[in-house]
Amino acid sequence: MNRPEILPTLATIREARAAIASAVLRTPLVPSAALAAKAGQEILLKLESLQSTGAFKLRGATNAVQRLSDDQRRRGVGCCSTGNHGRAVAAAAARLGVRAVVALSALVPATKVRAIEALGAEVRRIGVSQDQAQMEIDRLVKEQGLTDIPPFDHPDVIAGQGTIALELLEDRPDLRAVVVPLSGGGLISGIAVAAKALQPAIRIIGVTMENGAAMVESLKAGKPVSVNEHASLADSLGGGIGLENRYTFPICRDLVDETILVSEAEIYRGMQFLFREQRLVTEGGAAVSAAALLAGKLKLDGPTAFIISGNNVDPDQFLAVASGQPVKLGDQIVKAQVEQR
């Protein structure tokens, strides 16, 4: 396989686990009888939404910040984000007394902006895409000497996210598949590297929204490509993968077994189902695995883990979904689906 020279490995993921253990929760893996009834197979939910920042991103950000040199810590860090990574970097930096600057596009919900600011990070609202926000970080790296901590395409970030797979296979070594929200690929890459090393036959399945599915379009094209970003219930899955992507694209190309697209209506149903049946508050990006199953797009053949990646959802939006009210996304109105009986 043609891969970059430096890629995360099972060894670096194990190192990351030791490095972040004091700062990150070992999240529970809980059964879902309601989803199992739909799947005809055992479904287990990995509750990364219980992390202190509300999402799995704390793992990768903490690993990356802790591996900085003393000089890099003195100069500070920066990142662009759709929200969850910025919050994780802010938390990891605050823990070590490091300056953090987070660039966010106009598509990032205000609730995520406030959460990042509350952790002491400097927030810059830049443009209408993650690529435009990244340009601001690139400027600060050049002019102020900040160290960029990318949201996904970085070995230390990927290794941190991969610690999830170590926990999964310790708790359930008989897992046949892991279903993972797919955006830039940091989460699924880390999980795939560790899980495939420990259990080569395990299936790694990525799920994302239909509009603006950057990694899926890049895999189809055989190289990283740009996509237009759209307002989505799964806003945490927005953004491109970077045309100079070095790590997550080749890992996804080589190790991810299947990708699935879900509509906004299907994501709405997934969020609503997880709340009504599991009492889980999830952002849209965290509900895509359930959305794919409920839509009949996910075929399983044994015990399967769903990564419930985060709970950082706008409260008003979530209340509307939970109660079956329509949600406005740009020019689109998303409504509750009528169950077919």
**Whether 46 is catalytic:** no
Which of 32, 94, 24, 10 is CA-nearest to residue 59? 24
Phi then psi for 81, rounded to 5 degrees?
-165, 155
Classified as helix, coil or strand, 172 is coil
Q: What share of the chain is helix, strand, coil (3-state, %, to 5)?
A: 45, 15, 40
Q: Does residue 179 contact residue 210 with C-beta atoms inside 8 Å?
A: no
Q: Please list, residue by residue across 167-188, b when 16 or more beta carbons sit within 10 angstroms of its beta carbon and e when fewer do.
A: bbbeebeebbbbbbbbbbbbbb
The whole-angstrom separation of Cα 189 and Cα 14 is 15
Q: Does residue 317 contact residue 270 with C-beta atoms inside 8 Å?
A: no
Classified as helix, coil or strand, 127 is coil
The whole-angstrom separation of Cα 196 and Cα 198 is 5
Pairing of strands 327-329, 332-334: antiparallel
E strand map for the chain:
29-31, 43-47, 77-81, 100-104, 122-125, 147-148, 177-181, 203-209, 258-262, 304-308, 327-329, 332-334
Among 32, 46, 57, 236, the active-site one is 57
The whole-angstrom separation of Cα 215 and Cα 293 is 20
**Whether 218 is catalytic:** no
Q: Does residue 178 contact residue 196 with C-beta atoms inside 8 Å?
A: no
Q: Supply the residues annotated as catalytic.
A: 57, 309
